[in-house]
């Protein structure tokens, strides 16, 4: 039997190890529980990947993987030989690197300004930076199409009116796509990066001032180099996010035909009418994407391990001393406001404006009397809508609930379980693995699995819900492992000594203590499920429509005002959810822990011990 | 009564076992202390008795009931061992009030609410916290938390009490106070108690018997005063208090237990021979057992001479560091006038306060 858990030195009271022979005659229940969690994780995390590997060797054009038994490298040879594939990969690389640089750059600037300087209106800037979290990327892209459409986009028309026509841009170009993706990343990146800025020990900077260096010299010679590991980790993480992102490329690419790998996978399986799906090509591309994502995630984990050593978070030395900006105060604030106006205010404004007009009008006082709420009436009158809302609510609540429960069980097993260390580490790795599975890839794999298995899941809401669990499991496990680690093992042991069994100890001691983290993780997943388009689009049928696919269909069918109206209501609902005080606090807590522990199996296993 | 027999355990990945056959027996009403440096296996032994960790082999009995036996494949989980325990961190549940914390071990025992209330009040009264019963537990000081943990450990009136460094998180003053309270409480309740600590003063003050552990083994076991004054083992001599070890050469033949003589750089001394661990013989005595003598008196056995190297004033005593050649010893005396460094002194040590550790065979 395997034994044991890790454990280096530490105080003897905290060492939690059990040992070799012990497991042999330990009680059976822990193994059953561990086995159940392992099986559930294998099902949601490993099965989709294995299915894809299989299908990449078997599937042929328009044949599903289990319709043939012939194994071959044909799909791989095909993508390697196809010039189109290389073009798509090149586009994806450019898109990924560009969007990540822009997103991280904006996030760094905002985080520094908000967390470390005496810039004015910091609270306002903080809220404004986070608002895009409530805007689903698909809706964000739709808003940008209204702003940057080549003929009548609001910004382009305004530029022409001001005689600045040479500044006009085409929202459907790759470059616009990169900027828009970067802007939408910025608020997520902000949460991750702000933690590093917030917890930076200011005495390092003070020492630099003492040595005669000025504010900006210190920023570039001390602060940024010290934060480099944390920033590098964030950059790697968002490189993966950009590489696999789907919503913005598919929305903009619908018109422009600029394709990245994720949209290429989608279009190979959902071809325009008259053409056949190519599951083999999709599978091979998916494996390619997973391999790169996996490598980057691995680098990310190593980087965060390092970051932890570097950015010290000392409760003692930390005083939030802010850097006085002096004359730069207002110019820098103005720069931040440019971001807020361009990336937050204008998209929201145009979305609302467009939702109030059947046909697009350039925003002006004259156009005001044309505004009406017909599209909202259309939406509420749409016979599909009650079903779509019910589907979305059922699916999102159930999937977020299942994800949270599975993540909590996994976190307990990884951090406190009585099974050997080697197995707990494997469990941890398995739980984080879906992080490398892009949405469309998960969607594709689930199509194969449930077309093959004789269970009536394909084409129902269940398959979308299952896909969401896979997609968001790693995030929740990261957050809940962090929460579980903050609960001293002695709190559980004291309950056992008091004569209370394992299960009741969990319910009476552990559950109440991690409850705030559970709620935060649940809501975080819930919000992301509602935002998610790629998965739903891969897996929905007319019976299992959800909000994101409904908006997509309205848009695709040219009902732009109705799509915008639905988008406005979705954003309003998500904003309301985010504004709940518990969510705000929970998210901050979640992200501050995530920044340290998230996605780091080695680290968590070590700390667990 | 607590019996541990030949507990052996190796953590995975560790080269050396953490327990190499630890055995002890704690009588009813006795305070038995496992003392030793960190990593010696004392906490692991305690956790094995509690059932929080399982030994690889060995046997553990609580009041005659086998709760662990590798041979019979018995391993009773901690919640079925019926024990009380105070953790190093106290492990007070932050989401429960003081009285809820204390009442927790009584649930599921088929007691009426009235009875539970009565028992909780009694336990809180014993530790002097009755007036804080309804306080949320995060609003407690360290000393109060320690008392809540103690109340929780005794409320179920189990006969076995396990204390894992219960005083180590308190400041020095509070520690002394709690030490006295703990001793009084133990006399009153009569648990069979295992007390784990790395603090030799705590061990000496609180225990009926002390087991000194090192590297997974009990080096020596005995009553506190005997162990302090007449250590059988050089590690005991060194760990339990300030100690001098002067290199020496044995005169004639020596068997452990004999009264023998040995020549040190300071002079010739006599003492009881004990098994040692080093390559050379060592004369042991505690610094405060040496007394300064008239330097001009005639030489005799058990008298040494040395030069004063330096002084340290420790408050209650003045410590003199004295040298002869490469050897140095410390002598503690009442603070008083000091001779200059370099002055020569003479000191005497009674043979019953010294020991001679023989060279390792």
**What residue spans define the domains of chain B?**
2-229, 242-357
Closest residue in chain A to residue B36, using alpha carbons only: A12
Nearest one of A229, A207, A228, A231 to A217, comparing CA atoms: A207
Rounded to a whole number, what is the distance in Å from the CA of A38 to chain B's nearest CA? Answer: 22
Condensed to tens digits (0 to 9), the pLDDT of residues A7-36 reads 333 333 333 334 434 444 456 777 888 899
For helices A83-116 and A122-130, the axis angle rounded to 10 degrees is 160
Q: Is the dihedral of CA A95, A101, A106, A110 positive or negative?
A: positive
By C-alpha distance, which of A382, A410, A393, A563 is closest to A478? A410
Which residues, including other chains, have CB under 8 Å from residue B75's CB and lie 6 or more apart?
A22, A25, A26, A27, B51, B54, B67, B68
CA distance linking residue B91 with residue A218, whole number of Å: 44
Homologous superfamily (CATH) for B242-357: Nucleic acid-binding proteins (2.40.50.140)
List Cβ neighbours of B273 (8 Å cut-off, separation of 6 or more).
B250, B254, B255, B256, B257, B258, B259, B260, B355, B356, B358
Q: B120 — alpha (psi -120 to 50), left (phi > 0) or beta?
A: alpha
Where does B216-288 have alpha helices with state H? 224-229, 234-239
Q: Please answer yes or no on whether B44 and A15 come within 8 Å at the CB atom.
A: yes
Say if CB A470 and CB A477 are below 8 A apart: no
Q: What is the pLDDT of residues B280-320, one digit of tens each?
A: 999 999 999 999 988 888 888 999 999 999 999 888 899 99
Give the residue among A277, A292, A257 at the shortest CA–CA distance from A177: A257
CATH class of A43-61+88-321+329-360+367-608: mainly alpha
CB distance A26–B51 less than 8 Å?
A: no
B87: left (phi > 0), else alpha (psi -120 to 50), else beta? beta
Alpha carbon A195 to chain centroid distance?
17
Do A495 and B104 lie within an 8 Å CB cutoff? Answer: yes
Model confidence pLDDT, tens digit, residues A410-446:
999 998 887 888 888 888 888 888 888 888 888 888 9
pLDDT at residue A587, as a whole number: 57
- CA distances from residue B271 to A395, A492, B81, B106, B349 in whole angstroms, order as listed: 84, 52, 47, 56, 10
Q: 281-340 in B: which are within 8 Å (CB) of A?
A: none
d(CA A308, CA A597): 9
Q: Is the dihedral of CA A574, A577, A583, A584 positive or negative?
A: positive
Q: How far apart are the first and last CA of chain B?
A: 38
Q: Which residues of B touch A1 (CB under 8 A)?
A: none
Where are chain A's structural domains? Answer: 43-61+88-321+329-360+367-608
The partner residue sitting opposite A497, judged by closest CB among B39, B83, B165, is B83
Residue of B nearest to A489 (CA): B91
Phi, psi of B183 (to 5 degrees): -65, -45
3-state secondary structure of A495: helix
* Structure tokens belonging to residue A591: 């992200």
Q: Tell me, yes or no, if B71 comes closer than 8 A to chain A by beta carbon.
A: no
- The set of residues, in sequence order, having a beta carbon less than 8 Å from that of A577 and lying 6+ positions away, is A134, A523, A526, A527, A583
Which of residues B340 and B69 earns the better pLDDT score?
B69
Q: Locate the chain B residue with the closest alpha carbon to A491.
A: B91
According to DSSP, the residues that pair with B268 across neighbouring strands are: B263
Q: Which of residues 87-116 of B touch A (CB under 8 A)?
A: 87-91, 93-95, 104-105, 107-109
Mark out chain A residues that contact chain B at CB-CB < 8 A.
Answer: 2-7, 9, 11-13, 15-27, 420-421, 488, 490-491, 493-502, 505, 509, 512-513
Write out the H or E segment, with its range, that includes residue A91: helix A83-116
Correct CATH for B2-229 of 3.40.50.300, 3.30.428.10, 3.90.870.10, 2.60.120.590: 3.40.50.300
Confidence of residue A306 (pLDDT cuts 50, 70, 90): low
Distance, CA of A537 to CA of A247 (rounded, Å): 10
Higher pLDDT, A274 or A55: A55
Chain A: give the shortest CA distance to residue B3, in Å: 18
| B344 band by pLDDT with thresholds 50, 70 and 90 | very high
Lowest mean pLDDT among A92-106, A192-206, B183-197, B272-286: A192-206
Residue that the structure tokens 């705000």 belong to: A584
Are B159 and B9 in contact by the 8 Å Cβ rule? The answer is no
DSSP one-letter string for A276-300: --BHHHHHHHHHHHHHHHHHHHHHH
Q: Give pLDDT tens digits for A372-388.
A: 888 899 888 888 889 99
Model pLDDT for residues A110-135, shown as the tens digit of each residue: 998 998 888 898 889 998 998 888 89
Q: What angle do CA A125, A128, A130 make, to 5 degrees?
A: 110
Kindly report which listed range (A531-545, A572-586, B65-79, B267-281) carries the lowest average pLDDT score. A572-586
Tell me, what DSSP letter sits at residue A116? Answer: H
CA–CA separation, B307 vs B302, rounded Å? 17
Which residues on chain B are in Cβ contact (under 8 Å) with A13? 43, 87-89, 164-165
Strands B192-197 and B31-35: parallel
d(CA A44, CA A466): 7
Per-residue pLDDT, B1: 92
Distance CA A451, CA B109 (A): 53
> Is the torsion defined by CA of A412, A414, A420, A421 positive or negative?
negative
User: Is B237 or A604 the better-scoring residue by pLDDT?
Assistant: B237
Q: Is B26 strand, coil or helix?
A: strand
Return the residue matching tokens 């296996």: B41
Please report the pLDDT score of residue A509 as a whole number.
92
This complex has an ipTM of 0.84
Count CA atoms closer than 13 A to B280's CA, side-chain side: 11
Of the candidate ranges A149-153, A543-547, B160-164, the one whose mean pLDDT is the lowest: A149-153
CA A32 to chain B, closest CA, distance in angstroms equals: 16
| 3-state SS class at A18 | coil
CB pairs under 8 A between A and B: 133
**Beta strand spans in B121-167 (E):** 160-164
8 A C-beta contact, residue B59 and residue B65 = no
Note whether A596 and A308 are within 8 A (CB).
yes
Query: What are phi and psi for residue B158, nearest 5 degrees?
Result: -80, 160
Chain A residues closer than 8 Å to B80 by CB: 499
Q: Which of A231, A226, A224, A236 is nearest to A301 (CA)?
A: A236
Asked if B360 and B277 touch (Cβ cutoff 8 Å), the reply is yes
**CA of A480 to nearest chain B CA: how many angstroms apart?**
18
Domains B2-229 and B242-357 share a fold: no
User: What average pLDDT does range A304-331 have in this prediction?
Assistant: 61
> What is the CB-side half-sphere exposure of residue B80 using CA atoms within 13 A?
11
Q: Give the strands of the sheet with B19-26, arranged side by side.
A: B19-26, B2-9, B57-62, B65-69, B74-75
Lowest model confidence (mean pLDDT) among A66-80, B190-204, B291-305: A66-80
Mean pLDDT computed over B338-347 = 88
Strands B267-274 and B354-357: parallel
Q: How far is CA B229 from CA A106, A494, B188, B233, B348, in A?
A: 71, 38, 29, 12, 17
Instruction: Determine the residue among A21, A425, A490, A498 to mutate to test chain B binding: the one whose Cβ has the most chain B Cβ atoms within 10 Å.
Output: A498
């Amino acid at each position: 039997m395997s034994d044991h858990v890790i454990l280096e030195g530490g105080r003897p009271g905290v060492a939690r190890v059990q040992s070799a022979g012990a497991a042999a005659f330990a009680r059976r229940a822990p193994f059953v529980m561990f086995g159940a969690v392992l099986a559930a994780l294998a099902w949601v995390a490993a099965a989709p990947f294995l299915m894809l590997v299989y299908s990449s060797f078997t599937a042929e054009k328009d044949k599903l993987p289990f319709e043939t038994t012939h194994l071959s490298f044909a799909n791989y040879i095909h993508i390697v030989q196809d010039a189109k594939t290389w073009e798509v990969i090149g586009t994806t690389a450019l898109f990924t690197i560009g969007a990540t640089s822009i997103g991280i750059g904006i996030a760094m600037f905002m985080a520094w300004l908000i967390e470390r300087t005496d810039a004015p209106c910091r609270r306002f800037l903080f809220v404004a930076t986070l608002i895009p979290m409530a805007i689903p990327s698909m809706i964000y892209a739709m808003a940008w199409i209204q702003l940057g459409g080549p003929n009548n986009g609001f910004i382009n028309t305004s530029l022409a009116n001001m005689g600045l026509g040479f500044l006009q841009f085409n929202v459907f170009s790759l470059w616009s796509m990169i900027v828009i993706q970067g802007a939408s990343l910025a608020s997520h990146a902000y949460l991750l990066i702000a933690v590093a800025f917030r917890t930076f020990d200011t005495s390092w900077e003070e020492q630099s001032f003492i040595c005669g260096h000025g504010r900006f010299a210190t920023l570039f010679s001390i602060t940024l180099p010290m934060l480099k590991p944390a920033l590098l980790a964030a950059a790697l993480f968002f490189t993966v996010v950009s590489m696999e992102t789907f919503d913005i490329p598919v929305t903009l690419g619908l018109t422009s035909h600029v394709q990245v790998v994720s949209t290429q996978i989608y279009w190979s399986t959902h071809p325009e009418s008259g053409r056949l799906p190519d599951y083999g090509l999709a599978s091979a591309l998916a494996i390619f994407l997973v391999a790169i994502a996996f490598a980057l995630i691995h680098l990310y984990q190593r980087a965060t391990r390092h970051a932890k050593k570097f950015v010290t978070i000392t409760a003692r030395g930390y005083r939030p001393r802010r850097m006085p900006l002096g004359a730069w105060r207002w110019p820098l604030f103005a720069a931040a406001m440019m971001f807020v106006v361009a990336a937050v205010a204008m998209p929201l404004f145009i979305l609302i404006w467009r939702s109030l007009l059947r046909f697009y009008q350039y925003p002006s006082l004259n156009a005001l009397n044309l505004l009406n709420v017909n599209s909202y009436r259309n939406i509420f009158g749409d016979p599909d809508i009650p079903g779509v809302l019910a589907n979305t609510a059922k699916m999102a609540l159930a999937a977020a609930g299942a994800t949270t429960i599975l993540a909590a069980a996994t976190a307990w097993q990884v951090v406190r379980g009585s099974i050997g260390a080697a197995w707990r580490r494997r469990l941890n790795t398995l739980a984080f693995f879906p992080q490398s599975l892009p949405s469309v890839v998960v969607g594709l794999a689930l199509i194969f699995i449930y077309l093959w298995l004789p269970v009536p899941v394909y084409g129902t809401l269940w398959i979308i819900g299952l896909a969401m669990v896979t997609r968001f499991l790693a995030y929740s496990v990261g957050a809940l492992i962090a929460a579980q680690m903050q609960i001293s093992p002695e709190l559980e042991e004291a309950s056992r000594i008091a004569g209370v069994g394992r299960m009741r100890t969990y319910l009476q001691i552990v559950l109440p203590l991690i409850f705030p983290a559970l709620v935060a993780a649940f809501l975080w997943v819930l919000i992301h499920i509602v935002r998610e388009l790629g998965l739903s689009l891969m897996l929905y049928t007319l019976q299992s429509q959800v909000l994101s696919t409904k908006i997509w269909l309205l848009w695709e069918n040219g009902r732009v005002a109705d799509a915008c109206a639905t988008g406005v209501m979705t954003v309003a609902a998500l904003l309301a959810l985010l504004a709940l005080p518990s969510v705000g606090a929970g998210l901050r807590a979640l992200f501050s822990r995530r920044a340290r522990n998230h996605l780091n199996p080695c680290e968590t296993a070590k700390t667990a011990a | 009564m607590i019996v541990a027999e030949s507990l052996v355990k190796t953590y995975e990945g560790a080269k050396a076992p953490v327990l190499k056959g630890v055995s002890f027996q704690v009588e009813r009403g006795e305070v038995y202390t496992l003392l030793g440096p960190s990593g010696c296996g004392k906490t692991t032994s305690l956790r094995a008795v509690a059932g929080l960790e399982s030994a690889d082999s060995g046997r553990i009995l609580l009041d005659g009931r086998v709760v662990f036996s590798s041979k019979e494949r018995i391993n009773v989980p901690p919640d079925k061992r019926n024990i009380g325990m105070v953790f190093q961190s106290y492990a007070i549940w932050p989401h429960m009030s003081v009285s809820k914390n204390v009442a927790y071990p009584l649930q599921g025992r088929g007691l009426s609410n009235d009875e539970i209330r009565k028992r909780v009040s009694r336990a809180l009264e014993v530790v002097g916290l009755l007036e804080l019963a309804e306080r949320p537990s995060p609003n407690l000081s360290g000393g109060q938390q320690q008392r809540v943990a103690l109340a929780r450990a005794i409320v179920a009136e189990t006969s076995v009490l396990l204390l894992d460094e219960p005083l180590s998180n308190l400041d020095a003053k509070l520690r002394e106070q709690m030490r006295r309270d703990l001793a009084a409480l133990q006399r009153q309740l009569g648990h069979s108690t295992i007390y784990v600590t790395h603090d030799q003063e705590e061990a000496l003050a609180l225990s009926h018997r002390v087991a000194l552990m090192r590297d997974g083994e009990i080096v020596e076991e005995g009553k506190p005063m005997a162990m302090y004054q007449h250590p059988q083992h050089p590690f005991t001599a060194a760990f339990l208090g300030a100690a001098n070890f002067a290199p020496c050469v044995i005169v004639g033949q020596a068997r452990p237990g004999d009264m023998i003589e040995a020549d040190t750089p300071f002079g010739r001394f006599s003492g009881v021979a004990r098994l040692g661990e080093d390559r050379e013989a060592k004369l042991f005595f505690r610094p405060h057992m040496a007394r300064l003598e008239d330097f001009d008196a005639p030489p005799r056995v058990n008298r040494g001479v040395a030069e004063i190297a330096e002084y340290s004033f420790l408050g209650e005593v003045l410590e003199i560091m004295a040298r002869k050649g490469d050897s140095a010893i410390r002598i503690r005396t009442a603070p008083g006038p000091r001779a200059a460094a370099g002055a020569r002194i003479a000191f005497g040590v009674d043979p019953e306060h010294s020991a001679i550790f023989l060279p390792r065979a």
